[in-house]
Amino acid sequence: MRTLAKIIKQHITWRHQLIKLAKADIIKTYSGSALGWAWAIIKPAVTIFVYWFAFGVGLHLGGRMDNGFPFILWFMAGMMPWFFMEEMFTQGANSLRLYSYLVTKMRFPIATVPTFVGISKLYVHIFLMGVTVVFFLCYGFKPDIYLLQLPIYMICMVLFFIAWAQFASMLTCMSKDFFNLVGAAVQALFWLSGIIYDVHTMDVPEWLKTFLLFNPITFISNGYRNIFIYKVWIWEEPRVLIYFLIILFAMASLALWAYRKLYREIPDVL
């Protein structure tokens, strides 16, 4: 608890700097290219189009879902949060190395570096969700009261992946092999999540379905679809919520353990 209190105090003390560094991270990401900010839309658009073409056209899944929504909307609703999660898996895990000068030269609090990286990715994610709402409007589906859940799922997503980045970035500092392992595991996590398919309707043994529902990516992806497609409140699926909270607690515990064990050594390693 002392470690947690210390980290929270650091975030409160450095809160203004976190916002400034998050904005600087966005500028750094999209500067230096001719299209600049347009890449925030181009990359997700190309990815969604490729998967839609492969599954919607190639595998003939491009018709309307049982609830009347086109497949492209169903897929887009579950895919949009993945862009945030994918970047946090990789860039979050590499955040301390990427911003090593803040730790070695400025003595910036180590625990806050993954946080401002997560905030910068959240800004882009909020922008993409605005694009998603407009896309749904173009198909004639207006936002409704279920959209009020969007901040809840965003908070769940941000908390988990900042905890992940806190844990993984420290291990990455200690071993580059860990970062290489993370990069190799990202695609596996994608295909083992509920982004491409609906875990709830899969014809698989119950133990396997439970295993897949413990995946936090599945919780977030299904949550976004509950908002835009299925119209389900978060408390209407208590088992899935409990699974996520267990994983969130475990990830936060690992993050606190890594910080307590390694934060003194990180500046010297970097």
Query: What is the count of structural domains for the chain?
Result: 1
CA distances for 59 relative to 42, 52, 55, 75, 197, angstroms = 24, 10, 5, 14, 13
Q: So what's the pLDDT on residue 60? A: 54
- Contact by Cβ (8 Å): 269, 173: yes
Among residues 137, 132, 172, which one has the least CA distance to residue 154?
Answer: 132
Q: So what's the pLDDT on residue 194? A: 81
Domain range enclosing 13: 2-29+37-269
Q: So what's the pLDDT on residue 222? A: 92
Using a cut of 0.75, tell me whether the model's pTM lies above it: yes
pLDDT tens, position by position, 151-185: 999 999 999 999 999 999 989 888 888 888 888 88
pLDDT tens, position by position, 70-83: 888 888 888 899 99
Does residue 237 register a pLDDT over 60? yes
The span from the CA of 62 to the CA of 54, in Å, is 10
pLDDT tens, position by position, 72-115: 888 888 889 999 999 899 888 888 888 888 877 777 888 888 99
Q: So what's the pLDDT on residue 46? A: 82
